[in-house]
Structure formats: C-alpha cells, structure tokens
Amino acid sequence: MGKVKGFMEFQRELPADRAPLERIKDWKEFHLEMPDESLQSQGARCMDCGTPFCHTGIMLSGMTSGCPIHNLIPEWNDDVYRGFWRDAYDRLMKTNNFPEFTGRVCPAPCEGSCVLAIIEPPVAIKNIECAIIEHAFAEGFVAPKTIVRRTGKRVAVVGSGPAGLACADQLNKAGHSVTVFERDDRCGGLLMYGIPNMKLDKQAVVQRRIDIMEEEGVVFMQNTEVGGNYPSEKLHEDFDATVLCTGSTVPRDLDAEGRRESGGIHFAMDFLRSSTKALLDSSQPALCAEGKNVVVIGGGDTGTDCVATSLRQGCQSVVQLEIMPKPALERTDDNPWPQWPKTLKVDYGQEEAAALQGEDPRRYCMMTKKFIADDGGALKALQVSQVEWVKKDGRFIPQPVAGSEEIIPAELALLAMGFTGPEAALAEQLGIACDERSNIKASEENYLTSREKVFAAGDARRGQSLVVWAIYEGRGAARECDRMLMGETSLP
C-alpha cells in the first residue's frame, strides 16, 4: 500500500466534463483529461483492503457486484499512485482485452462494491482504468504483437461486439486462425452502432483496437451475414470450431393502444444506429429528431443515449418516461453494500437536457397508454398516465392511477425498454437448442451449445447484460474452445 492514509487525505475527484450547452453542439467525447498528479492522488485513495470486493464479479439480488473480469484493481491503483504506468498497464491487460471500452461505457460495478464506499465516496476506479490505457497508447506501450506459433486450427466467431472481439483476440493469441463475421458494414457491434460517438469515439477508440487486431492476424468479414449471404453450414466445412457472439438484439416492444405502426415510433437501437452511421458516412440520418418533440420510453443507458442524441440533432423538446419509481438519494435498508447502489444518478444526457430545457427530462412512474396519430397516420402525441406499484401474488406490478391521464406532444417516440433475446434464425438453421428465455443454450462451464464444436457467449447466451460481462464471456468461450481444439489450454 503506497499511501497508508491516502483515503483520508484525498477526496474523490473525477475529470471535468465539457459544459453541457457546449458539447451538445458536436459529437465529440465530452470527458476531459485529468493531470497525472491528480490521477496519482486518486490511486492513493485505494485502501489495499484485506478483503477487496471491487474485483469479485458476482451477482447479488440480480445485480452485478464487483468486476466480472476480476481486474487487479488494488494492484494497478497502487502502480498509478507510484507513477508506474507501464506496470499498471501490464496488470490491467492481464484481465481485460479492451479497457478503453470499459473505461468509458461500463457502469462500474467495481465502484459500487468498493470497501471505501461504506463510509466515503468510492475510489474513482473507472476513470483510473481509462487513464491507464490511454496513457499506454500515448506512450507506445500498445502495439500489435507478432503471433509466433500458429496451430493450424481455424475458428469462426460470429458477431463483432465486445464478446466476439474478446473471444477473437484470445483465440488469436493462442495461435488459432480467427475469422470474425459481421453482418454490418463496420465491425464493433454494439460498440460501433449501439453507443453514441460522444460516449465512445468510433474511429479514435473502437476502430483503433480493431486495426490492431487485424495487424495481429484476425480476419474481419464485414457485410457478411451468417445464415444470409454466407450459408450457416459452411461454418462446419470451413472451420474447426465456431463461437456465436451475436448479442441480444430483439428489442422489447410496447403494447399500447393506437396505431403502433404510426410513422414516428421507432426502437431506440434503430435510432442510435441511424445517427452514428450518418455521422460516420457524413450523411443525413434516416431517423432524425430535428425540430420534433421527442419522447423516450424507458430509462437505462440506452434511454440516456437517446436523450443526448436527440438534443444533438436539434429536437424541439425531449421527455423521458420511466415506469419505475424515482430512486432514493442514498442507499435504502434493502439495498446494502456491496450490492449495486440503486440510487438516483444524473447521467450526461439528463444533465444536458436539464441545462437546455431547465429541468430533468425524466418523469417517473409513468405508463404509455396510447399512441395518437394525425389524419395522415403520423405520430402526434402520446396518452400517458401515472402508475402506482402494488403487490399482487407476491410481486409488485404497476397499476394506472385513475384520473392521471395526460397528453404529451410527440412526433418521435423511441422505445428503449431493453431486449428479449437473440434473433432466432441462426440457431434454428444450425439446429441449436435455446432456453426458455430464447437465449442460446450453452453452459457457462464450457460454453458449448447442443451442437458439436459450436460455442456461444455474451448476450446471445446470458441475455441482455453489460459490456464487461460480454468480455468475460468472450474470454471464457475462447478458453474452452482452445481446450477443445488442443486438449489443454493456457488461456485464462
């Protein structure tokens, strides 16, 4: 432990953000850099606790507690405090293939279970992680590695999201020849088209890593849909093993009255993808919020991203409806440490909307009852009502509050209510069993599906989850695939 009383001497600090009214004018990342001296002070706050919970990676009450990939957090915090940036980078890369992704988009369950958080604000783990990898890129520590020994085995990875990339990276390092199939025009999956550029820069961050993987020998096949323009059975003819990392991409729909097919009602991911693709192609987005009253239905990161994207496109107004009650400001008795703290947070999108509109765009305990279209069939408003949560048959369910109905103007409604599972077509073509939730059925112990030599990982296997869980699963599937191909494995 470098600074015995560091947690008593230094307060938690985060890097400043660009001003909300300034950053909504562009699509650049909004976090500013922090001086090394300040980062070292933040590293000194790590207590070197006897039993650290930050890297446990377990599920408590259905929520992630600690880092799923078991990052060596106390070790690299101490390295940063001492100024040993190369050592910090080496330790970070032992467990995480892509800290530049998690350091930007992970909700940081590590911080929620930080022991210091029992009495003080937690260590700024996520920010330190991002600083380590960006420091490594700047200093030239990150460079393509030459794979000395090739095994002669060929592996197909279907899907280039965080699970697919992590799996491909590990298998390539083990010496296998890896081909990644991506049906979109750019690789990265959720990282490329599901997260806006101001949160995760596509060229400077995502493509930077893909380019390194290509130089190391991974082959990326864009515009190639397995089961579409690439027959699924060719996987077994051309490869020794296949890992399915197709994600959970079927969005949850909204069962409300009115014309669901009305123009102006779209799934959040369709909207976000359209925006990012237009930015990268220097074109106009197919779905645009400019000049419109926007209602985002659903909270979470995706809902926040829709709010922020709508503001940058020049919407007239934006409202975000959440069916859940407003979270408490502090932990409640039924949400003890080290569970993820279910407390009120103001994310970047809400901060920007509040700065522009004068108030937080979120409205809690609200249910959409009806879509209202104009004579031409285009959306013009939503009928909503307040709800109260009542206990029935042992579980809480939302019930509309009589007389609370109101009309909210909306020419654009974005459904950000999560996902129900992976698309079924590929599993059906391959004859692979799925579970009762429609996810591809595969054991977490060996990631094998019901078909020989076919593995599954990430959201396609476990359901909608975090980027860090996808990386964990991709690494695990790579390890078990390597074991199957070689009879043993040295992959972690």
Instruction: Give the model's confidence band at 255: pLDDT under 50 very low, under 70 low, under 90 confident, else very high.
Output: confident
Q: Which residue, 292, 321, 327, 325, is CA-closest to 385?
A: 321
- Across residues 209-216, what is the average pLDDT? 98
Distances (CA, A) of 53 to 19, 80, 114, 423, 478: 34, 20, 6, 36, 26
Is 120 within 8 Å of 485 (Cβ atoms)?
no
DSSP-assigned beta bridge partners for residue 400: 387
Residue % of the chain over a pLDDT of 70: 99
pLDDT at 341: 96
pLDDT at 158: 98
Is 285 within 8 Å of 313 (Cβ atoms)?
yes
pLDDT at 316: 98
DSSP 8-state assignment for residue 194? I
Determine the Cα–Cα distance for residues 457 and 445; give it in Å rounded to an integer. 11
Region class of 101: left (phi > 0), else alpha (psi between -120 and 50), else beta = alpha
In 10 A of CB 396, how many CB atoms? 11
State both tokens at 342. 């279910």
Kindly report, residue by residue over 269-283, the tens digit of the pLDDT. 999 999 999 999 999
Q: Is 89 helix (H, G, I), strand (E, B) or coil?
A: helix
- Give the CA radius of gyration of the chain: 23
Q: Tokens 């089961």 — which residue?
A: 227
Cis peptide before 338 (omega within 30 of 0): yes
- Across residues 24-31, what is the average pLDDT? 97
Q: What is the chain's mean pLDDT, rounded?
A: 96
Q: With 70 as the cut, is the pLDDT of residue 200 above it?
A: yes
Determine the Cα–Cα distance for residues 131 and 125; give it in Å rounded to an integer. 10
Kindly report, residue by residue over 395-447, the tens digit of the pLDDT. 999 999 999 999 999 999 999 999 999 999 999 999 999 999 999 999 989 99
State both tokens at 1. 């432990």
- Across residues 330-343, what is the average pLDDT? 96
Instruction: Give the model's confidence band at 480: pLDDT under 50 very low, under 70 low, under 90 confident, else very high.
Output: very high
Q: With 70 as the cut, is the pLDDT of residue 2 above it?
A: no
pLDDT at 244: 98
In 10 A of CB 280, how many CB atoms? 17
282-312 burial: b if 16+ Cβ within 10 Å, else e:
eeebebbbeebbbbbbbbebbbbbbbbbbbb
Q: Is 406 helix (H, G, I), strand (E, B) or coil?
A: strand
Is 113 within 8 Å of 54 (Cβ atoms)?
yes
Kindly report, residue by residue over 94-138, the tens digit of the pLDDT. 999 999 999 999 999 999 999 999 999 999 999 999 999 999 999
Kindly report, residue by residue over 176-185, the tens digit of the pLDDT. 999 999 999 9
Q: Are strands 63-65 and 454-456 parallel, antiparallel or unpaired?
A: unpaired
Q: Sketch out the chain's domains with CATH numbers.
A: 6-139 (1.10.1060.10), 154-249+420-486 (3.50.50.60), 253-417 (3.50.50.60)
